[in-house]
Structure 1
Amino acid sequence: MPIVELSNWLILVLDIMAWTLIHLGVSLFTLLLPEKTFYSKGRLYKLRSWEMQGGFWKRKLHVHRWKYIIPDGASLFKKGFKKKKLNEVSIEYLKKFEMETRRAELTHWLCIPPAFLFFLWNPIWAGWIMVLYACLFNFPIIVLQRYNRGRLRRILILKDTKNVELE
């Protein structure tokens, strides 16, 4: 039972506006965090051995086949770092790209919990749809960031051990 009773049209408008504000607000929040926040290899960002540096996501979820259809949210903000494709192979660029995958992952983790606020004005069934939406929208992007980070990690390790520039 929602706390606030609203018409269906008003609920729909409120849901759209709320999701827009949540996505943009969380994105702006993480974009304004200092880069050093994301250079640390905290527990959230640590690639697990079972992820096989992105290999698990490639084999089990076929990320390499659908990653191209995911829009790059960086284009929404001037300061955003575009992660659609690898533009350079310098160590500095690869480390920055890796750091930005952490920022993107945190952004999408933070976009999920606000889904429970929708129970305040939505019927219970619609509140659960909002939670499902939050998971279905954000989990693929989280997986994509972890997949990319594993691949970047492999390249950085290769560059470090071989001490050569890839072309």
Structure 2
Amino acid sequence: MNMIVSFPNHWIIIIDILAWTFFHLSISAICLKLPLVWFLRDHFWFQIFSWEKSGELWQRLFRVKRWKGYIIDGTIFLKKGYSKKGLHGIGLRDLTIFAAETKRAEFTHWLSILPAPLFFLWNPVWAGWVMILYALVFNLPIIVVQRYNRGRITAITSKFVKK
């Protein structure tokens, strides 16, 4: 399969950087505009499954606690949003909002993977696969951190609700 458009390599690199910047910022901006109430609901695709053991699976498999502090919070780029670098309080409402914002972040990063196949349009095939790999390597760790944090918060908030 040949690329649809042919550019010199230096232009391909510039186009790739600009395209990823556009996709990341656009998807983030759109997701920031979604109402919080949408993320407060328990949609199937955001539920923490029992096999995740309230997020402990992610710690066991990937040692999330060791490296999650090194991930840059996207709110510093758009100067908007809800920072997830730390809790904003320990009350039920604070934890519920934090958990909802982890859903927003997870959703944003799942959507950020979707444009990767478009890079085959102007990249050689090998570079298109590098773009797929980039999308996965950049986004999956952040998704894992969101599921880890939400699993832990969900376990705590379920104790509030049971009381």
Separation in 1 of the partners of 2:95 and 2:76?
A: 19
Match of 2:84 in 1: 83
TM-score, scaled to structure 1: 0.93
Separation in 2 of the partners of 1:72 and 1:53?
A: 22
Separation in 2 of the partners of 1:156 and 1:41?
A: 14
**What SS does the aligned partner of 1:111 have?**
helix
Match of 1:119 in 2: 120
More moved, 67-76 vs 120-129: 67-76
| Structure 2: gaps of 5 or more residues | none
Separation in 2 of the partners of 1:40 and 1:114?
A: 26
Match of 1:149 in 2: 150
Match of 2:68 in 1: 67
**What SS does the aligned partner of 1:44 have?**
helix
Separation in 1 of the partners of 2:12 and 2:38?
A: 37
What's the offset of the Cα at 1:159?
Answer: 2.6
Match of 1:109 in 2: 110
Separation in 1 of the partners of 2:39 and 2:15?
A: 33
TM-score, scaled to structure 2: 0.96
Match of 1:137 in 2: 138
Match of 1:165 in 2: none
Separation in 2 of the partners of 1:85 and 1:33?
A: 22
The number of aligned residues is 162
**What SS does the aligned partner of 1:94 have?**
helix
User: In the alignment, does 2:41 pair up with 1:40?
Assistant: yes
Deviations 1:93-114 (A, max 9, x none): 1111000000000000001110
Match of 2:18 in 1: 17
| Structure 1: gaps of 5 or more residues | 163-167
Separation in 1 of the partners of 2:88 and 2:98?
A: 10
Give every structure 1 segment of 4 or more consecutive aligned residues whose post-TM-superposition deviation is greater than 3 Å. Answer: none
Amino acid at match of 1:131: I
What's the offset of the Cα at 1:119?
Answer: 0.3
Q: CA RMSD in A?
A: 1.0
